Structures are given as structure tokens and as C-alpha cells.
Chains A and B, each alone.
Chain A
């Protein structure tokens, strides 16, 4: 890196001289792809953050950002499909637990991948990833709420995490997949119940019962729903 050499300006300005190698992008992407697999297999301790980041940075710098991005999308998709399969396999209440575990793992892996590809994230595209969500998840959640309303005990921490997961995917996803149906189901449930009460009880009793339900509902909301739902629920 001597001054004399640099004075002699070249039009070809690439310092890292990667363009000389036409297979550069291919090779680098292979390294990064391998790294992503390793991260998902919990083998990240064998990887060098600095090297991976540098590779990703150079790819974007030399205009291979598009390749990197599409490669990432396809790799992530295949991983997510795998995860989805293993979650599908779980049954009953195990389903949510499995989902929760996988979600935590996935989050951690994603964070590491994001950090490695941070340069792309900042300069190439500020867009975010979208993860497929099963409608099954929503149904299970609603079922659980129904169970609790009728007196069963459920794992509230689990519920909290799952709803948080939906929130993480963006307020819109949360709204569409959980909040709307949740509110609809709630309305139905309480309409039926209030009808029953009105038929069976006198006025004071009815009010008492209604108040109890209302308190229960507030507590439930604070436990595992996003704050926003609270106002809309009651």
C-alpha cells in the first residue's frame, strides 16, 4: 500500500480485486450459504463472524447484492419449510410448545444471519423478511382462549410468547391473524352468555356476573395479549 504505487491512478479501482475471478460471487455465496446452514444446525461456533461479514460486504459492494438477496431468500425458505414440517408433526398442546421452541431458535438464528448480512440490510434493501404463518396457529390460540373462558387452566406464558411472535411479524399480521377472529369469537361467546344470564337471573345478579366476566377478561388480556387489543376487546 505504498504511496508511489497509489499515485499511479488506474481506472480499475477495485481494491480487493475480486472481479478478476469470474466465479467470485458463486464462491462467496457458497461460503455464506454454508454458514447459514451451520447457524441453523447450531454450529455457529465454528464460524468467523469477521470473515462472513467481510464476504457479504464485498458481495454487496461489487454489485452482487441481488444474488446475495435471492440466495438468502431461497435458503431461508427451505429452512422454514423444514421447520414448518417439524411443527406440523407435533400434536395437540405439544404443538404450541414445539412452535414456541422453534420460534425462539429461529429468532436467534435469524438474528445472527441478520448481523452477518448487516451491510446488505443497511444499504441494499431495507425491506424485511416475511415468514409464512399457519392458519392452524390461530385456530389453536382461539381454542385455548375458549377453554380458559370455560374454566380450564392453560399455559399463559406460552400464550404470551405466541402472541408476541405474531406481533414481531408486524402489527398487521397480528391484527389479521389473531385480533380480528379473537374479537369475533369473543363477541359471540358473550352474546350467548349474556342471553343465558338475562333469562335466568335478576338484574343485580346479572350485573355482578357481568362485572366478574369483565375483570376476568381484563386480566386475560394483560397476560397474553398485546396492549392494543385491550381497548378493542371490551
Chain B
């Protein structure tokens, strides 16, 4: 093959002992073919579509498999490259795999659930937690020799995972359960229908024989998960449905693929009959405004605009009612909100399915509406159920729902970070915690030591391991700088003393991934560990180094103790003396 000749002839290869060619300006295909993982990572991070095909009809994964670059293939797979058998691209990758190791890798990823963003994954779970939907999927899985998804796991957690649908479609007598807001967000057709004909319907029956159940199912599944999976035979029906639903960009892509499939016969393996052939499309292949986060963002913006704000809430109920009335007048139906959340002085219009899918707290809360006090908590003249959240500012809540709807977090103010940590732990939104931490890290590089102490305490409290690690690292590496900072010494006093447990105090470095890491323990113990990593002498002298650290810490604490009593005496000379007198 001429490709291989290319590599051999490259002058760099002759000079370098590293056998791999570097392609600093190559595209994703070249990088995959050359196994240049640095370039590949850069390209993937910059948002290139992993499942795009080049002019030879090949995807990047195909080249990586063909050339046997395991690391590159793995990177592609982790970024969502499709490798399922019975798809055009997947088949070719399996077929082209250089050796058994590559095939094994492909197999391993095939069995995995598709890599989806937190938003897509949680909405997909909600969709599949609906009984009718999971039943169909199970049936599909039973037909195919290899399991498509870990679909069976949904059966077990059905009751806990379940969030009831608000509309059921019957196509050819079979049900699909769905949520209005998701469909409306993704398709102008559904939006219009839900505002008019289907406004109060819980059940919609399609009587047209032509409409195929599998096609509609795959489209609605796509609406939730940004991932289309359809058998090739159903693609023509899908194009028709897309046209009706006004899903322009998806329709174009599927049409293009249809043409492709027509001529693809000779390129694919022959031993599979057509009914099993599938086509998989990741949302990444669509223009950004047609993906799930953008669609939900539009809904969110309308809802936010409708969310009332003002001092009215404080004054009288009459005022509030009139306000609500006026809002209803000005077409607040637009946002399809089905729940209100009252935070601070603002009422937010939200959608139960989004809140429940993203946060188990809200799922539990919404499902217990009738069991607890809140069930009766309807606002006068207000048609929507209303929740109330305390101890949270409306700014933080707005940021939080922005994240819940779109998976993105724009300009977080460091001042806000603490509250966001609080909100994300309280509402069990653990991905949000990581997102805030990521946004915060660049800021931390510039803060003075005193402030870093503050962040350490915070991150320990809220369990933000990334920030916690960062702070501990910074402290261990610049221990003397911190030792001179009064805030650091004061912090030492507020922390629980290092554990006296001798098993924990061993100076031998722990194996990576050992349990010490999983259970975040005592802050000072961890700091000691870090310090030993950074400063300590060779292995046989670690005990001495540790002793040194312990002594240094003890001394600092004494200083802190002294400072504290000095401070107290200075700040509250009267109060201390009064205590003495009382005694």
C-alpha cells in the first residue's frame, strides 16, 4: 500500500528512533493513520467530528485500525467513534483491523454504552426508563446476536429510575412514551401540535399504516440522546418522518447516508442480511444549533424570560396573582413549563423531565409531590405546581438550571463558585461540581496563599477532589511560603489533628489506586503524604523526612495557638476578662 511507503520514506523516520510519524498539520485521518496521538488529541479537543468520512469513504477509526495504532483507536473510540458491527463504518473497522488486539479493542467498545455527555445520557436514561420504550429495546436486543446496549440494566432499576411520561404515541398499535418538552424542543412540528391539536391529549394514536414504528422510535430516541440508531431498511421512512417533523439537518444527513448505502454494497461485508444493517449517527455530526443542548437552551431562554422577577412576591398576594395573570395573557404557554421553582424572590419556569433527569433530588421531590406538604403548595390562580427552594440565591439557581439544560457553564465568577459547589452537592449534580472546578482552576493559579487555604477547606467540605488536590499540591511544593502565612497557620488549628492511626501513617508510598486515594481522609494526613512525595529523601530515609514534617507541623501549630490567643486578647479584651470574672 502506498500509505505505508509514505511512512517509510519520511526523512524524519530515519532520524528518529521513534517509529511513529508525526503529522503536525495533518487532519484527523492522517493523524489516525500515522498514530500521532498528540495531534489527534488536539484535533479531538478542538471538536472535530470523529465519525466524519474522508473522500475515500473512510472514517478516522478505520485508519487507526488498519494501521494497528491501538492508542489512537482507543482515543477515537473514547471520543464516540462508532464501531458497532452491522454498521457500514463499524464493519469496515472490524474487517480492516490489523491484528486481534485491535479487534478485541473494538469488541470491548461495542459492548459499552455509547459515550454520551451527561445531559444526553441522563435524558436517554429517562426515555428508556419508560416501560414501553425499554420493552421495545429489549425485543431488539433479543433479536440481535450481540447486545446493543446494556439495556437490561434498566429493567432492574425501573422503579427508581422511572419518571412518568406525559404523552404516549401509538403507532401500528405499539406505544412510545415521551415528554412534550423534549419533542417540542427538537421539532417545530411537535411544538405546533402540542400547542394546538394535542394540547390536552395524553395519548396520540397514529392511524396511518405507512408510519413505521421503528423509524419513529429511533427519531424520538434521537431527540433524547442526540444519537440516532436506525436499521438501514427504516431509513427511507425516517427521511419522511424528518420532513414532517421539520428536522432539516437530520433529514439531509440521513438522505445523504441513504445514497451512500445504495452504493456501499460492494464496500461492506456480504454475509449480513439487510435487516440487521444499521446506521448510527452521533449528534456531533449535526450543526451545533441542531444538537440537544442548543435545543434545550432555546427552551430555557424562553422559560427564563417568562420567569417572573420582582418585589411583588414580597408585598401582597393580590399583586402576585395579577402578575401571574398578566403573564398568562402574554403567552406564557410558549415554554411548555410544567413546574415552577421559587428561589429567593424569583419564580422560575422549569420542566419536570429535565430537572428529574438531571438530579435525583428533583426526581424524588417531584414524585413525592402528593406525599409531602408541598403537594398543597399551589399558588393562587396559578396552574402550575410550585416548589420552593431555600438557602440558595437566584443567581446560583439560574446558573444551575443553565447547566442542567445545556451541560455548559458560562463565565463562573469565583465568588459564585462556593455557592455552586453547595448547590451541586445538595442537588446531587456531581458533573456540575467538576465543571465548576474546571472553570475555577485557572483562577486559582493566581490567588495568594491565604485564599488558597480558603479553597482547600471548601473543596474538602464539598468533596471537590480536583481543587483539593490542586491546593494540597501547591501547599506541599511551597510549604515554607505557606508556613509564613498566618492564614495557613490559623487553618491548621481548625483542622482535625492528623490521625494517630499507625496503619495510615506508614511512610511507604502507597500503590497507585490504593484505597488511600478512594477514601479522602484527614486533610493534614494527605498534606503530609503530598509533602513526602515532593520533598522527602529516598525511600529508606522517608521515615526521617516524615518525622521532620511532623515536627514542623507541630511547631507551626504552636505558633498558631500563640497567635490566636494574642488575637483574642487583642480583639476581645473585655469579653475574656468578663469570662475570668464569671469563673
The interface of chain A, by Cβ under 8 A from chain B, is: 1, 3, 6-7, 9-16, 44-51, 53-54, 57, 61, 112, 115, 118-119, 122-123
Taking a contact as CB atoms under 8 Å apart, the answer to whether A15 and B419 are in contact is yes
User: B356-370 toward A: CB 8 Å interface, digit per residue (1/0)?
Assistant: 000011001100101
Q: Which A residues lie within 8 Å of B376 (CB)?
A: 45
Whole-angstrom distance between the Cβ of B390 and the nearest chain A Cβ = 7
Taking a contact as CB atoms under 8 Å apart, the answer to whether A9 and B451 are in contact is yes
Instruction: A51 to B426: give the CA distance in the assembly, Å.
Output: 12
* Contacts A6-B415, A61-B425, A118-B428; A49 near B374 (Cβ below 8 A): yes
* B415 interface neighbour in A3, A15, A44, A115, Cβ under 8 Å: A3
Question: Is B371 on the interface with A (CB-CB < 8 A)?
Answer: yes
Instruction: A97 to B309: give the CA distance in the assembly, Å.
Output: 54
* Contacts A61-B461, A123-B463; A54 near B368 (Cβ below 8 A): no
In the complex, given contacts A13-B418, A115-B368, A123-B425, what are 7 additional A-B residue pairs having Cβ atoms less than 8 angstroms apart? A1-B393, A1-B419, A10-B454, A13-B461, A14-B461, A61-B461, A118-B360
* B453 interface neighbour in A11, A44, A45, A115, Cβ under 8 Å: A11
Question: Is B557 on the interface with A (CB-CB < 8 A)?
Answer: no
Taking a contact as CB atoms under 8 Å apart, the answer to whether A45 and B375 are in contact is yes
Interface centre among B373, B387, B418, B425 (most CB of A within 10 A): B373
Taking a contact as CB atoms under 8 Å apart, the answer to whether B373 and A45 are in contact is yes
Taking a contact as CB atoms under 8 Å apart, the answer to whether B373 and A49 are in contact is yes
Q: Which A residues lie within 8 Å of B389 (CB)?
A: 50
Taking a contact as CB atoms under 8 Å apart, the answer to whether A57 and B426 are in contact is yes
User: B460-504 toward A: CB 8 Å interface, digit per residue (1/0)?
Assistant: 011100000000000000000000000100110010000000000
Taking a contact as CB atoms under 8 Å apart, the answer to whether B450 and A15 are in contact is no
Taking a contact as CB atoms under 8 Å apart, the answer to whether A9 and B450 are in contact is yes
Instruction: A16 to B365: give the CA distance in the assembly, Å.
Output: 22
Q: Which A residues lie within 8 Å of B365 (CB)?
A: 49-50, 53, 115
Q: Does more than half of chain A's interface fall in helix, strand or loop, or is it mixed?
A: helix
Instruction: A169 to B548: give the CA distance in the assembly, Å.
Output: 52
7 contacts between A and B (CB under 8 A): A11-B454, A13-B457, A45-B376, A48-B374, A49-B365, A49-B373, A54-B390
Interface centre among B364, B387, B487, B491 (most CB of A within 10 A): B364
Taking a contact as CB atoms under 8 Å apart, the answer to whether B490 and A11 are in contact is yes
Whole-angstrom distance between the Cβ of B556 and the nearest chain A Cβ = 14
Instruction: A49 to B360: give the CA distance in the assembly, Å.
Output: 13
Interface centre among B365, B418, B462, B494 (most CB of A within 10 A): B365
Q: Which B residues lie within 8 Å of A54 (CB)?
A: 390-391, 426
Chain A residue nearest to B160 (CB atoms) is A111
Q: Which B residues lie within 8 Å of A48 (CB)?
A: 372-374
Question: Is B318 on the interface with A (CB-CB < 8 A)?
Answer: no
Instruction: A227 to B450: give the CA distance in the assembly, Å.
Output: 62
* B371 interface neighbour in A10, A13, A44, A50, Cβ under 8 Å: A44
The interface of chain B, by Cβ under 8 A from chain A, is: 360-361, 364-365, 368, 370-376, 387-391, 393, 413, 415, 418-419, 422, 425-426, 428, 450-451, 453-454, 457-458, 461-463, 487, 490-491, 494
* Contacts A51-B390, A54-B390, A119-B425; A112 near B368 (Cβ below 8 A): yes
Chain A residue nearest to B426 (CB atoms) is A57
Interface centre among A6, A15, A49, A54 (most CB of B within 10 A): A49
Taking a contact as CB atoms under 8 Å apart, the answer to whether B491 and A112 are in contact is no
Instruction: A73 to B237: give the CA distance in the assembly, Å.
Output: 57
Whole-angstrom distance between the Cβ of B456 and the nearest chain A Cβ = 9
* B364 interface neighbour in A47, A57, A118, Cβ under 8 Å: A118
Instruction: A15 to B375: give the CA distance in the assembly, Å.
Output: 30
Q: Which A residues lie within 8 Å of B360 (CB)?
A: 118, 122
* Contacts A13-B461, A15-B419, A45-B375; A50 near B387 (Cβ below 8 A): yes
Whole-angstrom distance between the Cβ of B272 and the nearest chain A Cβ = 33
Instruction: A9 to B364: give the CA distance in the assembly, Å.
Output: 36
Taking a contact as CB atoms under 8 Å apart, the answer to whether A53 and B361 are in contact is yes
* Contacts A49-B372, A57-B426, A119-B426; A16 near B494 (Cβ below 8 A): no
Whole-angstrom distance between the Cβ of B213 and the nearest chain A Cβ = 29
Taking a contact as CB atoms under 8 Å apart, the answer to whether A112 and B390 are in contact is no
* Contacts A1-B393, A50-B388, A115-B368; A15 near B422 (Cβ below 8 A): yes
Instruction: A157 to B345: give the CA distance in the assembly, Å.
Output: 51
Interface centre among B374, B375, B494 (most CB of A within 10 A): B374
Taking a contact as CB atoms under 8 Å apart, the answer to whether A16 and B391 are in contact is yes
Whole-angstrom distance between the Cβ of B271 and the nearest chain A Cβ = 34
Taking a contact as CB atoms under 8 Å apart, the answer to whether B453 and A46 are in contact is no
Taking a contact as CB atoms under 8 Å apart, the answer to whether B491 and A50 are in contact is no
Whole-angstrom distance between the Cβ of B60 and the nearest chain A Cβ = 38
Whole-angstrom distance between the Cβ of A146 and the nearest chain B Cβ = 32
Q: Which B residues lie within 8 Å of A118 (CB)?
A: 360-361, 364, 428
Q: Which B residues lie within 8 Å of A115 (CB)?
A: 364-365, 368
Chain A residue nearest to B373 (CB atoms) is A48
* B494 interface neighbour in A9, A12, A51, A123, Cβ under 8 Å: A12
Taking a contact as CB atoms under 8 Å apart, the answer to whether B454 and A47 are in contact is no
List the 4 closest pairs (A to B, CB-CB), nearest first. A115-B364, A49-B372, A48-B373, A9-B454
Whole-angstrom distance between the Cβ of B545 and the nearest chain A Cβ = 28
Taking a contact as CB atoms under 8 Å apart, the answer to whether A122 and B428 are in contact is yes
Taking a contact as CB atoms under 8 Å apart, the answer to whether B390 and A45 are in contact is no
Whole-angstrom distance between the Cβ of B482 and the nearest chain A Cβ = 13
Taking a contact as CB atoms under 8 Å apart, the answer to whether B371 and A112 are in contact is yes
Q: Which B residues lie within 8 Å of A50 (CB)?
A: 365, 374, 387-390
* A45 interface neighbour in B372, B388, B418, B487, Cβ under 8 Å: B372
Q: Which A residues lie within 8 Å of B462 (CB)?
A: 61
